[in-house]
């Protein structure tokens, strides 16, 4: 049989080389075989203890936690966007209201200025009328005082003239004429 397959035998002899010292005589338990057997035993033990399922469950739990955090973050982002929009609307409304208040204040100031101008003109007009009335009253008082002085001077002059020119007999004639004129009425 050695003659039938000389290439195969030669290959095996050349390919095996010197055998390691820890190899058994039969060549069945070599280092790579021992490592492979240990790996198979470890994998079987891990599968038997359901380690892949535990790892999968742990990963699924972690994924669920991350999904919940993402959902919460999305909810918080939406809330933040809503608050931002609300505050932007409030800021815009406040700006509009401030502009309206400024516009109203301008109108009120213009109205107050116009009213003050009107009041000042009315006050000047009233004071002018009062001054004119006072001047007119002073003129009337002066004219009345002048008339009274003129009348007083005329009376005194008449009294003096009458005293100088009229005597007792002329007095009786005047009184008699006055009585007759009263009686004839």
The band of 173, judged by pLDDT with boundaries at 50, 70 and 90, is: confident
What are the start-end ranges of the H helices in the chain? 6-16, 31-48, 51-165, 168-183
Mean pLDDT calculated for residue range 106-124: 92
The band of 95, judged by pLDDT with boundaries at 50, 70 and 90, is: very high
Q: What's the chain's average pLDDT?
A: 82
pLDDT in tens, 20-71: 554 444 456 788 888 988 899 888 877 777 777 778 888 999 999 999 999 9
pLDDT in tens, 135-161: 999 999 999 998 898 888 888 888 888
Determine if residue 174 is left, alpha or beta; phi over 0 gives left, psi from -120 to 50 gives alpha, anything else beta.
alpha
CA 172 vs. chain centroid, Å, equals 105
Output the pLDDT for position 108.
92
Output the pLDDT for position 162.
76
The rounded distance, in Å, linking the Cα atoms of 81 and 74 is 10
Output the pLDDT for position 1.
45
Output the pLDDT for position 48.
74
- What angle do helix axes 51-165 and 31-48 make, rounded to 10 degrees? 50
Instruction: Return the number of other C-beta atoms located less than 10 Å from residue 63's C-beta.
Output: 10
End-to-end CA distance of the chain: 203
Output the pLDDT for position 185.
65
Output the pLDDT for position 46.
72
Q: Any residues with CB less than 8 A from the CB of 3 and at least 6 apart, and which?
A: none
pTM > 0.75: yes or no: no
Output the pLDDT for position 27.
56
The band of 18, judged by pLDDT with boundaries at 50, 70 and 90, is: low
């Amino acid at each position: 049989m050695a003659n039938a397959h000389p290439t195969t035998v030669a290959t095996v002899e050349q390919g095996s080389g010197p055998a390691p010292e820890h190899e058994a005589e039969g060549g069945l338990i070599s280092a790579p075989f021992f490592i492979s057997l240990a790996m198979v035993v470890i994998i079987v033990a891990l599968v038997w203890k359901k380690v892949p399922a535990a790892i999968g469950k742990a990963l699924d739990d972690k994924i669920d936690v991350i999904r919940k955090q993402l959902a919460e973050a999305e909810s918080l982002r939406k809330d933040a966007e809503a608050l931002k929009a609300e505050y932007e609307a409030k800021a815009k409304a406040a700006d509009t209201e401030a502009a309206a208040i400024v516009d109203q204040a301008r109108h009120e100031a213009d109205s107050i200025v116009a009213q003050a101008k009107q009041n000042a003109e009315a006050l000047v007009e009233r004071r002018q009328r009062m001054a004119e009335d006072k001047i007119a009253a002073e003129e009337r008082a002066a004219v009345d005082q002048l008339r009274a002085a003129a009348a007083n001077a005329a009376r005194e002059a008449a009294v003096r003239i009458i005293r100088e020119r009229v005597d007792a007999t002329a007095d009786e004639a005047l009184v008699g004429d006055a009585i007759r004129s009263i009686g004839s009425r």
